[in-house]
Amino acid sequence: SGGGNGQAQAPAGDTINIGVNFELSGDVATYGQANVQGIEMAAEEINAAGGVDGKQINLIKYDTKSDTAEATTLATKLMTQDKVVAVIGPATSGATKATLPVAGQNKIPVISPSATADDVTVDDKGVKEYAFRTCYSDSFQGTAAAEYAVKKFSAKKAVILRDSSNDYSKGLADAFRTTFTEGGGEIVSEDAYAKAADNFNAVMTKFKGQEFDVIYLPGYYTEAGKAIKQARDLGITQPILGGDGFDSPVLGEQAGAQLKDVYFTNHYSSEDQDPKVQEFITAFKAKHNTDPNAFNALGYDTMKFVADAVGRASEQTGEGVQKALAETKDFEGVTGTFSVDENHNAVKAVVFVGYDQGGALVSEKG
């Protein structure tokens, strides 16, 4: 990726400027870049099909360097100098939150494909008018996972291993813990690793000395793949549960043959025979020579979601688009069909995707 930028100015009136404000370098470039791959693919498709209302979409892409201050700076630039009608991104919750005051001041909506923290779209003062997202909130997934653990595995005891350096992981872990213990379960041990950790032998060795039914591992595939493999290598056999951060071919590549008895909450399953999903997977594979991950899919949906709103908007301004976004009903995306609720969250069904004890891909709707 990382190719050209969409700054080429087409004649005014014929294009719709949309800001793409992502972590393309720095710590969390993985997620930013993945989102952008999806966004760019969707934009190309839309433009090839004639654009929105006959206008081409012009993406203006910036790199926040995974720095929240820079995210704010660039969002401001997009909104004030580049005259975009909407800004997609950043990928992470903190950075997204940092751009929201600017969004409010300039009345331009910010839509994040993957900012999952509960308070991205709402805070004590209520819903943030110009904040949207297309992913689940953390508590939604954590709760679903806890229910699944009890229902499917009759789990009574769980251990949690989370990523100490991101709030996504913390949010999922908190929700899981609450739901699981409320349902009578017990968290026997909990630990956290730092971002980019490689070595899980120590913590897994520690877990191994304990009695439990499931491991909840809310984190991203980048570390989860290693953690799963090291756990299985050490002879830990209990089921491992995770969230949509697992969704990437890299998870399987890292865990290799040890990807067994692993389940995670997700937006869709690549097994899903819905033509929309299959088309997306095929097209993505053709373009990037690898299977898409959740970030790709969410980026893709977000672009389409924004384009859809722009098409429906009464006027092509930030305010117009904001209204249209808020009114979205039954939008059919790759990551599920969703409507925007009063808290500006995308309400969609959860899918449990997993690899059973033989490593075969399974999925069930939640």
Partner 1 sequence: MEQLAQQLVNGLALGSIYALIALGYTMVYGIIQLINFAHGDVYMVGAYVGYFCMVHLKLGFVESLVIAMAVCTVLGVVIERVAYKPLRKSTRIAVLITAIGVSLLLEYTMMFFVGADTRTYGVLPPFMEQSFQFGGVLVSMKQIIIVGISVLLMVVLQYIVRRTKIGKAMRAVSQDADAARLMGISVDNTISFTFAIGSALAGAAGVLVGVYYNAINPLMGLLPGLKAFVAAVFGGIGLIPGALLGGYFIGASETLVAGYWSSLYTDAVVFAILILVLVFKPTGLLGKNVREKV
Partner 2 sequence: MKNSLVRQALMLWLPLVATYVIVLLLVQANIIDAYMQVTLATICINIVLAASLNLITGFTGQFSLGHAGFMAIGAYSTALVSMRWDSVFGFLGGLLLGGVLAALVGFLIGLPTLRLRGDYIAIATLGMAEIIRILLQNFEFTNGAAGLSPVPQYMDWTWFFILTVGSVMLISNFIRSRQGRDAIAVREDEIAAESIGVNTTRSKVLAFAIGAFFGGIAGGMYASYFYVIKPEQFGFLKSVDILVIVVLGGLGSLSGSVIAAFLLAIISTLLQPFPGVRMILYALLLIIIMIFRPQGLLGNRELSLRLLPRFGRRREAAASGTEEA
What are the start-end ranges of the H helices in the chain?
A: 29-48, 68-80, 93-106, 138-153, 167-182, 201-208, 221-233, 249-255, 275-288, 294-312, 318-326
* Residue 39 interacting with partner 2 (CB under 8 A): no
| Contacted entry of partner 2, partner 1, none for residue 301, CB cut-off 5 to 8 Å set by kind | none
**Contacts to partner 2 from residues 126-185, by CB under 8 A:** 163-167, 169-171
Say how far apart CA 114 and CA 355 lie, in whole Å.
24
The least CB distance from residue 197 to partner 1, in Å, is 7
- Contacts of 123-128 spanning 24+ positions with Cβ under 8 A: 127/342, 127/343, 127/344, 128/100, 128/104, 128/344
The least CB distance from residue 230 to partner 1, in Å, is 8
Crossing angle of helices 167-182 and 93-106, in 10° steps, is: 110
User: Residue 315: in which H helix or E strand, if any?
Assistant: none
The piece of 4-12, 169-177, 227-235, 336-344 that touches partner 1 (CB under 8 A) is 227-235
Question: Binder to partner 2 among 39, 79, 91, 161 (CB under 8 A)?
Answer: 79
| Contacted entry of partner 2, partner 1, none for residue 237, CB cut-off 5 to 8 Å set by kind | none
Considering the complex, state which of residue 25 and residue 290 has its C-beta at the smaller distance from partner 2. 25
Q: Which residue, among 172, 206, 232, has the nearest Cα to 355 in the 3D structure?
A: 232
Question: Any idea what the Cα angle at residue 53 is, between residues 48 and 55, rounded to 5°?
Answer: 60
Written as six digits, the tokens of 90 are 């950043």
* Residue 196 interacting with partner 2 (CB under 8 A): no
Site string for partner 1, 144-173 (x = CB under 8 A): --------------------x---------
| Contacted entry of partner 2, partner 1, none for residue 10, CB cut-off 5 to 8 Å set by kind | none
Sign of the alpha-carbon torsion through 106, 108, 114, 119: positive
Question: Computed over its alpha carbons, how large is the radius of gyration of the chain?
Answer: 20
Compute CA 115 distance to the chain's CA centroid, rounded to the nearest angstrom.
7
Written as six digits, the tokens of 43 are 């934009």
* Residue 40 interacting with partner 2 (CB under 8 A): no
Written as six digits, the tokens of 257 are 């043959």
Question: Binder to partner 2 among 42, 84, 86, 98 (CB under 8 A)?
Answer: 98
Residue 314, amino acid = S
CB neighbour burial string for 52-71, b if at least 16 within 10 angstroms, e if fewer: beebbbbbbbbbbbbbbebb
Pair 349, 137: CB distance under 8 Å: no
Size, binding site for partner 1 by CB under 8 A? 40
Question: Binder to partner 1 among 19, 89, 171, 225 (CB under 8 A)?
Answer: 225
| Contacted entry of partner 2, partner 1, none for residue 93, CB cut-off 5 to 8 Å set by kind | partner 2
* Residue 37 interacting with partner 2 (CB under 8 A): no
Question: Binder to partner 1 among 30, 64, 99, 322 (CB under 8 A)?
Answer: 30
* Residue 226 interacting with partner 1 (CB under 8 A): yes
* Residue 357 interacting with partner 2 (CB under 8 A): no
* Residue 99 interacting with partner 1 (CB under 8 A): no
Question: Which stretches of the chain bind partner 2, using CB under 8 A?
Answer: 1-5, 7, 24-27, 61-63, 65, 67-69, 72-74, 76-77, 79-81, 93-95, 97-98, 100-102, 105-106, 117, 119, 123, 163-167, 169-171, 194-195
- Contact set with partner 1 (CB under 8 A): 1-2, 24-25, 27, 29-30, 32-34, 164, 191-194, 196-199, 201-203, 205-206, 208-209, 221-222, 225-226, 229, 233-235, 248, 250, 253-254, 256-257
